[in-house]
Amino acid sequence: MSHIRAEGVGVQFLFDRQQRTMSPMLARFRRRSSEHWALTDVSFEMTAGEGVALLGASGSGKSTLLRIIAGVLEPDAGQIAVSGRVGSLLSIQAGVMAALTGRENTYLLGVLAGMTARQARAQIPEVKARSRLEDQYEHLVGSYSQGMRARLGLAVIEGTEPSILLLDEVHEALDHEFRDHVEAYAHRLLEAGGLVVATGHDHPMLERLCTRALLLEDGHVTADGGFLDVQRRYLGDRAA
């Protein structure tokens, strides 16, 4: 059963004088310039079958929260418990490497996601078909458009059969036909007892996917409720 629970989660960034990010260990040796809590005291619970949108202005902590759920970042304070296999499209590059072809990315990402080498090889024809990249699949990803990268990234994710899907604006780079595909896939996942957490500025799409929303402001969750209520508050605050 897919489930996410966060209690008092905080994520801290430390910067040196050149505004480069430091780890706490590096901060002992380099002179620290500033620190910033990208998330502070974030608590929530998400359960199976829920579609949850993260709303908020740029820099409010939406992407950081998605990265915490994905396990890309680890909390510097608090606890997070994630139950279920996570599939994520979080970065602008959609998690694929520009110097590899679509086929090579499929194999590498499949193995990193937990498949055996044999399973990762076996899924290549399916991923190629799902991505609809045709001949471009054998080309270097560096030659792909952002939308093509997102298609490849999503096709790989589908192959790993996640029960938790995290989408961070990347899906907005997709064409309308493929966006419908993402939506249909997310709905199937929700019906099967999965969880979808998405963020972006395409609110009509978020509304179709998500019944619930969290509003993030300066790294704090300031509202948690039905999508339309939270959206109204977010847009109202911005208008004010």
Partner 1 sequence: MKPTAEAPRPTRTDTAPPPAGAASWAKRLDIVWALARSDLRIRYGRGSWQVVNWFVNPFVLVGVYVLLRVILDRGGEAVGLSIACAVVPFQIVMLSCVSAMNSVSLREPILLNMRFDRTLLPPSAVMTETLAFVTSFVMFPLMMLLYWVGPTTALLWLPLVVAATMLLAFGAAWPSALLGVWAPGVTLFATQGLRIMFFAAPGLVALSEMSDDVRRWIVLNPLTGLFESFRDVILYGDAPALWQLGYPAAVGALLAAVFLPLYRREQRHFAKLVSSL
- The residue ranges that bind partner 1 (CB under 8 A) are 3, 8-10, 12-13, 19-26, 37, 40-41, 67-68, 70-86, 88-91, 93-100, 104, 107-109, 111-114, 116-117, 120, 153
Residue type, 93: Q
3-state DSSP call for residue 54? strand
The whole-angstrom separation of Cα 152 and Cα 23 is: 32
Q: How far is the CB of 158 from partner 1 (least distance, A)?
A: 14
Q: How far is the CB of 169 from partner 1 (least distance, A)?
A: 13
Q: Please report, to the nearest 10 degrees, the dihedral formed by the alpha carbons of residues 185, 190, 194, 200 taken in order.
A: 70
Cβ proximity to partner 1, 168 vs 234, nearer residue: 168
Pairing of the two strands 3-16 and 32-47 = antiparallel
Cβ proximity to partner 1, 30 vs 233, nearer residue: 30
Neighbours of 89 (CB within 10 A): 26
The whole-angstrom separation of Cα 184 and Cα 166 is: 15
Let me know if 47 is exposed, middle or buried by CB neighbors in 10 A (0-12, 13-18, 19+). middle
Q: Are the C-beta atoms of residues 26 and 17 closer than 8 Å to each other?
A: no
Cross-strand bridge partners of residue 168: 199
Angle (CA) 172 234 146, round 5°: 10
Cβ proximity to partner 1, 27 vs 237, nearer residue: 27
DSSP state of 171: G
Cβ proximity to partner 1, 107 vs 234, nearer residue: 107
Q: How far is the CB of 140 from partner 1 (least distance, A)?
A: 10
3-state DSSP call for residue 204? helix
Cβ proximity to partner 1, 9 vs 53, nearer residue: 9
Cβ proximity to partner 1, 57 vs 72, nearer residue: 72
